[in-house]
């Protein structure tokens, strides 16, 4: 018992020293201490995690991953290491690696694996598998912060699947943690637009705009909402903000600007936007038809 206590004090003392060295910029010295602790006390995971994070903080991502992978070769039953490595992969946007490393972990061993898998599949674009993992994770309900993030992500998935009532319920469940988060307001605005609850959509998109800096997708959604509200001046204002943020012509945005210009009786500008589209794609049917109609309207005005 005395030896164990002595070792515990020794480990804590050296970890404290290494942390101070790391904060003062002496990362090599800190790394040496962590390495000596890992060698002397291989069952102690804290020095291993701290060394991996030290590498990660120095942008030595491959070194951090290799450190944990090498440890797993000798201790492949260490669930904590697998989860920590999966979290590193998440930080490094290695979604396939997350899926690969977590295949051996069951939800009963570590429910967080379900969240990490759900997030990885979400980023990989497999929304159905992502949804299954997130819904299974919620059943365990073990980490409050992740619960709210899961609900936010599920609201995006249901929105993408046009299940607007489910998307709204999940968004509302994330409210406690994300009430002041711009993306939640954006999701609400998108849901309400699709549910044809335009006043609610306007309220949320305006709140979203106040919470964030210039953002293409926020301005585009605002333009769409105000178009549905038949406030074509505001719609044009936000579509133009999108246009000015983009170096290249977005053909769909040009078509939206053409439509709203026509609503605002700006036929010349509408024709210019149709021309932008036709310059990129001379056979674009919508732009061809729109330009013909705009020219016809112009002739009638000049008669």
Please report, for the chain, the start and end positions of each structural domain, with discontinuous segments joined by +.
Answer: 248-303
Write the CA distances from 226 to 118, 220, 263, integer angstroms.
Answer: 34, 10, 12
Q: How many helices (H) and strands (E) does the chain have?
A: 18, 0
Which of 67-71, 86-90, 138-142, 169-173 bottoms out in mean pLDDT, i.e. has the lowest? 138-142
> For residue 65, what are the contacts with CB-CB under 8 A and spacing of at least 6?
85, 88, 89, 92
> For residue 220, what are the contacts with CB-CB under 8 A and spacing of at least 6?
238, 239, 242, 253, 256
Residue 14 scores a pLDDT above 70: yes
Q: pTM to 2 decimals?
A: 0.85
- The CATH code of domain 248-303 reads 1.25.40
Q: What does the pLDDT look like over 187-219, one tens digit per residue?
A: 999 999 999 999 999 999 999 999 998 899 999
Write the CA distances from 66 to 55, 72, 113, 296, integer angstroms.
Answer: 10, 10, 20, 67
pLDDT at residue 5, as a whole number: 45
Write the CA distances from 286 to 204, 217, 256, 295, integer angstroms.
Answer: 31, 23, 11, 14
Q: What does the pLDDT look like over 82-116, one tens digit per residue?
A: 999 999 999 999 999 999 999 989 998 899 999 99
Mean pLDDT of 47-54: 86
Q: Of how many residues is the chain composed?
A: 303
Residue 142: which pLDDT band, with cuts at 50, 70 and 90?
low
Q: Are 269 and 239 in contact (CB under 8 A)?
A: no
Cα–Cα distance measured from residue 286 to residue 276, given in angstroms and rounded to the nearest whole number: 13
Residue 1 scores a pLDDT above 60: no
> For residue 228, what are the contacts with CB-CB under 8 A and spacing of at least 6?
193, 196, 198, 201
In the block, tokens 């293409």 appear at 216
Cα–Cα distance measured from residue 127 to residue 7, given in angstroms and rounded to the nearest whole number: 48
Residue 302: which pLDDT band, with cuts at 50, 70 and 90?
low
Mean pLDDT of the chain: 90
């Amino acid at each position: 018992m005395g030896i164990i206590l002595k070792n515990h004090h020794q480990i804590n003392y050296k970890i404290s020293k290494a942390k101070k060295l790391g904060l003062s910029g002496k990362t090599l010295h800190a790394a040496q201490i962590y390495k000596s602790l890992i060698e002397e006390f291989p069952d102690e995971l804290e020095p291993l995690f701290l060394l991996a994070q030290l590498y990660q903080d120095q942008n030595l991502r491959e070194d951090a991953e290799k450190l944990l992978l090498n440890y797993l070769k000798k201790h492949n039953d260490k669930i904590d290491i697998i989860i920590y490595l999966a979290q590193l992969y998440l930080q490094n946007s290695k979604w396939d690696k997350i899926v690969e490393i977590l295949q051996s972990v069951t939800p009963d061993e570590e429910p967080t694996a379900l969240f990490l898998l759900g997030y990885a599949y979400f980023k990989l674009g497999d929304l159905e598998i992502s949804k299954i993992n997130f819904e299974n994770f919620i059943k365990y309900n073990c980490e409050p912060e992740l619960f709210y993030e899961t609900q936010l992500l599920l609201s995006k998935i249901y929105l993408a699947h046009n299940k607007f009532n489910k998307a709204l319920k999940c968004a509302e469940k994330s409210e406690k943690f994300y009430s002041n988060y711009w993306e939640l307001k954006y999701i609400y605005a998108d849901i309400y637009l699709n549910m044809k609850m335009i006043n609610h959509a306007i309220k949320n998109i305006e709140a979203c705009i106040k919470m964030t800096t210039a953002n293409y997708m926020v301005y585009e959604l605002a333009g769409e909402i105000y178009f549905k509200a038949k406030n074509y001046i505001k719609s044009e204002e936000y579509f133009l903000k999108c246009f000015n943020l983009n170096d290249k012509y977005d053909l769909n945005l040009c078509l939206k600007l053409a439509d709203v210009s026509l609503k605002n009786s700006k036929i010349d500008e509408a024709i210019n936007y149709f021309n932008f589209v036709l310059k990129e794609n001379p056979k674009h049917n919508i732009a061809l038809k729109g330009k013909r109609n705009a020219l016809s309207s112009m002739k009638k005005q000049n008669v």
